[in-house]
Amino acid sequence: MTPEPIAAVEPVPAVTRERRLANLRATLARGGGPPAGPAQLPARAPFAGRRSADLALRLARALGAEAADSADGWLVRRVVTPIDMPLDRERLAALPGHPPADAPLVCLDTETTGLATAAGTLAFLVGLARWDGVSYRQTQLVLPDHADEPALLAEIERWVSPDAWLVSYNGRGFDWPLLEARFRLAGRAAPAHAGHLDLLPFVRRVFRHRMEDARLRTVEERLLGVTRTGDVEGWEIPSIYLDVLRGGPVEPLAGVVIHNEKDVRALGLLLAHVERHYAERETRLGAPRGDLAGLARAYGRARRHDEALACLDDALAGSDATRDPFGRTPVARGGPDEEGGRPGAAWWEPRTRPHFGGRAPRGGWRGELAAGRGGPLGPEPSAAPWDAGPSWTDERIEAERARTLRRLGRWAESSEAWQAAAGAGGALGAIAWIEVAKLREHRLGDPLGALAATRAAWRILERSRQLGRPYPRVEADLVRRGARLAARVARTVDARGG
């Protein structure tokens, strides 16, 4: 059967096409902006014609704020009573990754309709704050409706100047990218700024070892001594705002505004706390040793290795009541991620299960393949497994100190620090001896000493194997390394004898 021919599509006449374009431009112009030309974006699309003062005025009355109208739309602005919050900018600038002393600071936090940063997520509440001398001044911007978003974006532009630094909590990964997307959708560029201090990575690096999570509310309780009561949960916030847009009561939104106010205030308090207790060596001597070790890592990432070494030396010099009678610090066990024992139980305490190093294998991201443990084959023979673990023991601090000394080119001292770290035993102790062997062979020119370090590592792994905990990857590395070093030492002896 012969197929029927497909009918050709007739082209749209030029007159019809021009008429359709003219109708479209006239429709867009009814939104309040000028007629859109061929190369222009619609002034208020796709929410043209939805502006209303009713919701803005209701929100202003419920929140104790003011409603302002402009050519860009309605905006509800709430000014929070200023509080005194001294901040020594010179001291703060000495910390790694923190803004220079002369840069204006703009603290920022958003409440949104979702957790994505794509076009479907809207920032309906933006909390902003800055210092005026010692006074910490906060302002909150509430969006009455989608169509008024240009007014919100214009106000943010007035706050963020090109020389300012943003201060946020997870703002580099969420808040600011979301606002950038909203500016892009509105056909305007996001305001330029000099830098962005995201406090979440700093908190994780310095304080995470003594917190169950890194949420801002947890940081307030553990570091600042502030406990929130009756606070709105984050997962409730989008539905509260969307209910208001559907015509529901506006009073529940007051809880969201107070939540945002506390978040922005916490940014300033956290910054002041860090400046007051960690900016200078004299003030941080009494800090927990884990804080000092985490701060050393922050200095190391900024390539300020001398200051990182000073933090580690102070951490080792500080006393710790959890050390056992032999000078070692126990690894905390029995926490929420492990079975057996009670939280913080030391190995010499009764009813504590035997521990041969590492954590009990489990499935998932925290399982046997996580954090360099390598599953049944054990960890890789590199220094990376020393990064794992929730607590900063003496041996782990020594390992961090050894790596810092190596970056400074102080090879002999780095070798001594790795020998001290080898007291951890197990795979970590063997890996520490492997690092000693590397330094002795390649930096100190001592192949015989490198062979002795390799044998010391092998003795540790032999004991672990007898206890039923073999580490095949590290053992294989030691076999190859030991054979090569033995051959090299034999050649050196033969050459000297000849």
Q: Mean pLDDT check: name the lowest of 273-287, 323-337, 444-458.
A: 323-337
| Widest CA span in the chain | 102
Question: Is the pLDDT assigned to residue 335 strictly greater than 50?
Answer: no
pLDDT tens digit string along 171-198?
999 999 999 999 999 999 999 999 999 9
pLDDT for the residue numbered 43: 40
Tally Cβ neighbours within 10 Å of residue 307: 19
pLDDT for the residue numbered 364: 40
pLDDT for the residue numbered 329: 59
* Local confidence band at 5 (pLDDT 50, 70, 90 cut-offs): low
Q: What are the beta bridge partners of residue 74?
A: 69
Question: Is the pLDDT assigned to residue 365 strictly greater than 50?
Answer: no
CATH number for the segment(s) 53-278 = 3.30.420.10
pLDDT for the residue numbered 260: 97
Q: What is the mean pLDDT of the chain?
A: 85
pLDDT for the residue numbered 140: 98
**% of the chain exceeding 70 in pLDDT:** 80
Question: Is the pLDDT assigned to residue 153 strictly greater than 90?
Answer: yes
pLDDT tens digit string along 117-152?
778 899 999 999 999 999 999 999 999 999 999 999
178 closest CA partner among 119, 256, 234: 119
113 closest CA partner among 235, 257, 284: 235
pLDDT tens digit string along 27-58?
666 554 444 444 444 444 444 445 568 999 99
3-class secondary structure per residue, the chain? CCCCCCCCCCCCCHHHHHHHHHHHHHHHHCCCCCCCCCCCCCCCCCCCCCCCHHHHHHHHHHHCCEEEEECCEEEEEEEEEEEECCCCHHHHHCCCCCCCCCCCEEEEEEEECCCCCCCCCCEEEEEEEEEECCEEEEEEEECCCHHHHHHHHHHHHHHCCCCCEEEECCHHHHHHHHHHHHHHHCCCCCCCCCEEEEHHHHHHHHHHHHCCCCCHHHHHHHHHCCCCCCCCCHHHHHHHHHHHHCCCCCCCHHHHHHHHHHHHHHHHHHHHHHHHHHCCCCCCCCCCHHHHHHHHHHHHHCCCHHHHHHHHHHHHHCCCCCCCCCCCCCCCECCCCCCCCCCCECCCCCCCCCCCCCCCCCCCCCCCCHHHCCHHHCCCCCCHHHHCCCCCCHHHHHHHHHHHHHHCCCHHHHHHHHHHHHHHCHHHHHHHHHHHHHHHHHCCCCHHHHHHHHHHHHHHHHHHHHCCCCCHHHHHHHHHHHHHHHHHHHHHHHHHHC
Cβ atoms of 172 and 198 within 8 Å: the answer is yes
- For the chain, the residue count is 498
Q: Mean pLDDT check: name the lowest of 192-201, 269-278, 354-363, 435-444.
A: 354-363
Backbone dihedral region of 426: left (phi > 0), alpha (psi from -120 to 50 degrees) or beta? left
* Local confidence band at 15 (pLDDT 50, 70, 90 cut-offs): low
pLDDT tens digit string along 208-220?
899 989 999 999 9
Question: Is the pLDDT assigned to residue 340 strictly greater than 50?
Answer: no
Cβ atoms of 370 and 380 within 8 Å: the answer is no
Cβ atoms of 141 and 88 within 8 Å: the answer is no
pLDDT tens digit string along 416-461?
999 999 999 999 999 999 999 999 999 999 999 999 999 999 999 9
Kindly give, in sequence order, each residue whose CB lies less than 8 Å from that of residue 107, ignoring residues fewer than 6 positions away: 127, 128, 129, 130, 166, 167, 168, 264, 267, 268, 271
pLDDT tens digit string along 51-104?
568 999 999 999 999 999 999 999 999 999 999 999 999 999 999 999 999 999
Question: Is the pLDDT assigned to residue 359 strictly greater than 70?
Answer: no
Measured between alpha carbons, how far is 178 from 184 in angstroms, rounded to an integer? 10
Cβ atoms of 296 and 288 within 8 Å: the answer is no
- For residues 287-291, average pLDDT: 94
Domain extents in the chain: 9-39, 53-278
Q: Mean pLDDT check: name the lowest of 237-241, 387-391, 454-458, 483-487.
A: 387-391
Residue type for 434, please?
A: I
Question: Is the pLDDT assigned to residue 498 strictly greater than 90?
Answer: no
**% of the chain exceeding 90 in pLDDT:** 68
Cβ atoms of 139 and 78 within 8 Å: the answer is yes
List the structure tokens of 294: 């985490």
